[in-house]
Amino acid sequence: MSVRATLATGAGRLTHWALSSVLHRSASQLPGRVALALDPQLMAALATKVRGGSVVVCGTNGKTTTNNVLASALEATGARVLCNRAGANMAAGVTSALLPHSSADWAVMEADELSTIRILPNLKPDYLVLLNLFRDQLDRAGEIDRVQDVIVHALQASPGTTLLVCGDDPLCVGVARRAADNGTEVMAFGIGEDLHLPTDRVPEARFCQVCGGELTYDYRSYAQLGSFHCPNGDFARPQLDFTATDVHVGRGGVSFAVSSPHLAVPITLKADFGGVYMVYNLLAAFAAATLAGVDGAAFQRVLDGYRPQNGRLQHFVVGGREVVLNLAKNPTGFNQNISLLSQDERSKAAFVVINDDFNDGKDISWIWDVDFERLGLGDGLRVIAGGHRANDLQVRLKYAGIHAQIAANVEEALRICGDLDVACPLYVLTNYSALWPAKAELERMGEHRG
Q: Alpha helices, DSSP H only, in 39-165? A: 42-47, 63-75, 91-98, 116-123, 138-141, 144-156
pLDDT tens digits, 313-351: 888 999 999 999 999 988 888 998 888 888 888 889 999
- Distance from C-alpha of 168 to C-alpha of 192, rounded to nearest angstrom: 9
pLDDT at 6: 94
pLDDT tens digits, 111-149: 999 999 999 999 999 999 999 999 877 667 678 899 999
* Distance (Å) of CA 284 to CA 17, 240, 310, 366, 399: 34, 12, 19, 27, 37
Among residues 323, 297, 327, which one has the least CA distance to residue 311?
Answer: 327
pLDDT at 392: 96
* Distance (Å) of CA 293 to CA 106, 202, 298: 12, 39, 10
Task: Give Cβ neighbours of residue 346 (< 8 Å, ≥ 6 apart).
Answer: 423, 424, 425
In order of their start, the domains of the chain are 40-305 (3.40.1190.10), 314-448 (3.90.190.20)
pLDDT at 230: 97
**What are the residues facing 130 on neighbouring strands?**
58, 165
**From 218, 246, 357, 363, the catalytic residue:** 363
Tens of pLDDT along the chain (450 residues) come to 899 999 999 999 999 999 999 888 888 999 999 999 999 999 999 999 999 999 999 999 999 999 999 999 999 999 999 999 988 899 999 999 999 988 999 999 999 999 999 999 999 999 999 999 998 776 676 788 999 999 999 999 999 999 999 999 999 999 999 999 999 999 999 999 999 987 776 566 889 999 999 999 999 999 999 999 999 999 999 999 999 999 999 888 999 999 999 999 999 999 998 889 999 999 999 999 999 999 999 999 999 999 877 778 888 999 999 999 999 988 888 998 888 888 888 889 999 999 999 888 888 999 998 999 888 665 678 999 999 999 999 999 999 999 999 999 999 999 999 999 999 999 999 998 999 899 999 999 977 665
Catalytic annotation present for 363: yes
pLDDT at 201: 64
Contact 244, 221 (CB under 8 A): no
Contact 222, 200 (CB under 8 A): yes
- Ramachandran area for residue 311 (φ above 0: left; ψ -120 to 50: alpha; else beta): left
Angle, vertex CA 194, rays to CA 192 and CA 198, nearest 5 = 135
- Give the CA count within 13 Å in the CB-facing half-sphere of 410: 29
Contact 111, 56 (CB under 8 A): yes
- Distance from C-alpha of 383 to C-alpha of 406, rounded to nearest angstrom: 9
